[in-house]
Chain A
Amino acid sequence: MAPVKIKQPSLSLIESYKKMLLIRRFEEKAGQLYGMGKIGGFCHLYIGQEAVVVGVTATRIPGDQTITSYRDHGHMLACGMNPKGVMAELTGKRTGYSKGKGGSMHMFSKPENFFGGHGIVGAQVPIGAGLAFANKYRKTNNVSFTYFGDGAANQGQIYETFNMASLWKLPVVFIIENNQYAMGTSISRASSTPKLYSRGEAFNIPGELADGMDVLEVFKAAKRATSHCRKGKGPYILELNTYRYKGHSMSDPAKYRTREEVQNMKDEKDPIENLQKILLRQGESEENLIEIDQEIKAIVSEAAQFSLESSEPDISELYDDIYIKNDG
């Protein structure tokens, strides 16, 4: 196959700002709806980590796949999935991406190449390598963006996957979203080494650490990673230091870290506020940013409204979608 000329990815700061803000507002709304009892079960919010998925996804080209864990709302919005469908799934409605059968942790979109949404810590990682395997099998130029957290980084199947991905030179970017806490266990209490990006050394996988609170830094690192993968050099590990403002899930005792720690991160490192400052410095008008904020609030309100007004799945659907009919 002749080498495909890939357009160099570029990052629009204003677009990134919009996407990050959409995720933030969406998650805030999801938190509200959870408090109102409209969302059930587990609900893991992405607030604070927005720069990670927005920066990485800016390097995505058509055909690239994205897969992540259960903290997945941000990834879906970044991949272009409709906030209405995501919110409707959170509220367990038939108009949700999984027709109300998946919930917060299990959503997928074939058209947007989003492969979930996985509830078992670390299980999405070999699957992500399998997506990359399919890219290689079909000789495409696509990359699989496989996200996992600092908690999942200690699962055995990650290393089984590292080995195969490197052995077979699979085009997969492993993105470790290090938000410092695996549920309530800090990285220093769970990991023998703080350098998660170096966990691929034994498998000859290059890794690097970048500031996951800075969308531009994330983007630059992701560009290096994807370019490595698209050149057929095999996998790449990107550790992005980030921070989740909210609890692990909605029921979190918050005893494992201090309020000051959380407040400091919000004051010093907030990815959206910092980008806002940059935009203003670059001459973006305050009015425009306010307008953007209002537009996004409207999108999110509309999504919430849609999700609340949608009906629950019909009870007759209980037995649907267990098997798919043979298409052959």
Chain B
Amino acid sequence: MVDEEILMPALSPTMEEGGLAKWLIKPGDFVKAGDIIAEIETDKAIMEFEATSDCKIKSLLVEEGATQIKVNTPIIALEIENSQKLSASMKTAKITSEPKRVETKGPTKKTEIKKPSSKKEEVMTVRESIRDAITEEMRIDESVFLIGEEVGEYQGAYKVSQGLLEEFGMGRVIDTPITEHGFTGLAAGAAFAGLRPIVEFMTFNFSMQAMDQIINTCAKTLYMSGGQMNCPIVLRGPNGAASQVAAQHSQDFAPWFSSVPGLKVVQPFSASDAKGLLKTAIRDPNPVIFLENEMLYNDPLASSNVDEELVPFGKARILRQGSDVTLISYGIGVKHALQATILAEEKGISIELIDLRSLRPLDYASIFSSVKKTNRCITIEECFPVCSIGNHLSASIMENIFDYLDAPVINCTGKDVPMPYAKNLETAALITVDEILTAIKKVLNHS
């Protein structure tokens, strides 16, 4: 007899850990390939986990209900005849087919969603805060509705809209066919008629299909109608790179949308800002592009206490006060910038870190006053380098406060390449903390 193990599987590109929602087997059971052995909960959904070959269960190594089990942690010990030795693929326990969802009608007890609460001390994830913002606004205003792919029965492709269908029903949480151009135009029409649609793009990569309606309809109609026809619409969803989903699914569109008059564009980092900005966005009578980031939905660094305040547009947040270098960032860039700040501070460098939060309108006043103080500036973002927000900030700083600069502004961005798939190449294509530290050194040593 040889013992083998089944490991905690990775069920999504970004999954690092998960929970064991339910065991469907017990020690001593014989299991055939394809049998469902457990339900595994990720931060996106609860999924069935199948055996990939025939085996006998010796023991279960984690308890039902356990959470935060790291991927590749042994969860089942197997008893195996030598002649039936498991194939290598079983050892890593990667599932071979698309995981099947078991949850369609709202959360289970274990995933019971937290009802929006006014408790200020509670730490929330970005995902929860976005859901709460939508929930609260839908409770206040009957004209607010959520529309997009998989927002209802599936509970959101990234679980952001979990529980909303249950509370608001099919009339206000509307699952669409896969038809971005069509449903964006339809939502724009509903907005012209006075409703307040929240359009979820499963990711902003798919918003490219709807670009004409976003730019030519949503952004321009107010102007073209001489101020008569406003479009109170929120277009939201994850934007930027996730993890190893390659070029067509990994792009930061912030600079694209930010270049268009008529749109408002925000890209929060923290849970608190996500909620406050989204509530502001939903109440705004103009079209708002609300850029989220899949990697931040559950990130502890981005999780925060969430208060009830609305966050105004056009107001940057000074995350750290400092005197040597100004770092300006937004969205997931703030995470890299924060990490670089901590390392720089250990070396005695005083960093002023600005989270823009809002890209259009942009808080020029805070940027200029910070750079006037530090005389050095680095911008940090994940988008392509050409025509980045940083490019625009560099130009604005040069035009307005050139004499205050002690060094050229450096733009840290993603690389000028389509996003590669291989992990090492992907890492190289994205912005790194080291690159920020190098830039800090460079602006400090400029003479």
Partner-B contacts on A (CB < 8 A): 65, 67, 96-102, 106-110, 115-120, 123, 125-135, 137, 144, 156-157, 160-161, 163-164, 167, 320-328
A107–B226 alpha-carbon span in the complex (Å): 9
B222 and A322 form a contact (CB under 8 A) = yes
18 A–B contacts, CB within 8 A, in A order? A99-B226, A108-B229, A116-B229, A120-B216, A123-B213, A126-B181, A126-B183, A126-B184, A129-B186, A133-B189, A135-B193, A157-B181, A161-B186, A163-B179, A164-B177, A322-B261, A326-B283, A326-B284
**Residue among A97, A102, A134 making CB contact with B195, cutoff 8 Å:** A134
Q: Interface residue tally of chain B, by bracket?
A: 35 or more
> Is residue B256 within 8 Å, beta carbon to beta carbon, of the partner chain?
no
| Cβ contact within 8 Å between B186 and A106 | no
Task: Give the distance in Å from the alpha carbon of A135 to the alpha carbon of B188 in the complex.
Answer: 14
| Nearest-CB residue, chain B, relative to A136 | B171
Give the complex CA separation of A118 and B187 in angstroms: 16
State how many angstroms separate the Cβ of A162 from the closest Cβ of chain B: 9
**CB neighbours of B286 from chain A (8 A):** 323-324
List residues 11-47 of chain B with CB under 8 A from any CB of chain A.
none
Chain A residues, Cβ within 8 Å of B264: 323
In the assembled complex, the Cα of A115 lies from the Cα of B217 at a distance in Å of 11
Asked if B190 and A167 make an inter-chain contact with CB atoms under 8 angstroms apart, the answer reads no
Contacts known (A98-B224, A100-B226, A326-B284); A133 close to B177, Cβ less than 8 A = no
Q: Which residues on A sit within 8 Å (CB–CB) of B181?
A: 126, 156-157, 160
Is A123 a contact of B216 with CB atoms below 8 Å? Answer: yes
Whether the pair B182, A157 counts as a contact (CB closer than 8 A) is: yes
Chain B nearest CB, measured from A268 CB (Å): 38
B391 CB, min distance to chain A CBs, angstroms: 22
Contact B222 A321 (CB under 8 A): yes
Shortest CB–CB separation between residue B311 and chain A, in angstroms? 14
Q: Does B262 contact A (CB under 8 A)?
A: yes
Separation of A119 and B217 alpha carbons in the complex (Å): 10
A130 and B212 contact, CB distance less than 8 A:
no
Q: Is the CB of B192 within 8 A of A130?
A: yes
Give the residues in chain A near B227, CB-CB below 8 Å: 99, 320-321, 324
Other-chain contact of B262, A96, A120, A323 (Cβ < 8 Å): A323
Q: Are B192 and A164 in contact (CB under 8 A)?
A: no
List which B210-229 residues lie within 8 A (CB) of chain A. Answer: 212-213, 216-217, 221-229
Interface pair B223/A101, CB less than 8 Å apart = yes
Chain B residue nearest to A113 (CB atoms) is B193
Indicate whether B104 reaches chain A with its CB closer than 8 angstroms. no
Contact assessment for A126 and B283 in the assembled complex, using a CB-CB cutoff below 8 Å: no
B283: which A residues are within 8 A, CB to CB? 326, 328
* Contact status B186-A164, CB under 8 Å: yes
> Chain B residues near A125 (CB, 8 Å)?
185
CA distance A102 to B216 in the complex (A): 13
Most buried by B among A106, A134, A163: A134
The yes or no answer to B201 lying at the interface (CB within 8 A) is no
Complexed CA–CA distance, A108 and B221 (Å): 9
Residue B385 lies at the interface, judged by CB distance under 8 Å to chain A? no
Q: For B221, what are the chain A residues with a Cβ–Cβ distance below 8 Å?
A: 106, 108, 116
- The 4 tightest CB contacts between A and B, nearest first, are A130-B189, A126-B185, A160-B182, A99-B226
Q: Check: B191 CB closer than 8 A to any chain A CB.
A: yes
CB-nearest residue of chain A relative to B261? A322
Asked whether B225 lies within 8 Å of A106 as measured between CB atoms, the reply is yes
Chain A residues near B191 (CB, 8 Å)? 130
Other A-B pairs beyond A99-B226, A106-B225, 10, CB < 8 Å = A127-B188, A128-B189, A134-B189, A160-B179, A161-B182, A163-B182, A323-B262, A323-B286, A324-B222, A326-B285
Q: Which residues of A contact B229 (CB under 8 A)?
A: 108, 110, 115-116
Query: B194 at interface (Cβ–Cβ under 8 A)?
Result: yes
Residue of A nearest to B143 (CB): A137
A106 with B224: CB separation less than 8 A: yes
Taking a contact as CB atoms under 8 Å apart, the answer to whether A137 and B224 are in contact is: no
C-alpha gap A327/B260 in the complex (Å): 23
Provide the residues of chain A in CB contact with B84, threshold 8 Å. none
Q: Could you tell me if A98 and B225 are in contact, using CB atoms closer than 8 angstroms?
A: yes
Q: A126-B181, A126-B182, A323-B286 are in contact. Are A137 and B145 (CB under 8 A)?
A: yes
Contact, CB under 8 Å: B230 / A102? no
Give the CA-CA distance A163 to B186 in the complex, in Å.
Answer: 12
- A324 CA to B226 CA, complexed, in Å: 11
State whether A137 touches B171 (Cβ < 8 A): yes
Given the complex of chains A and B, what is the CA–CA distance between A109 and B176 in angstroms? 30
A163 x B177 contact (CB < 8 A): yes
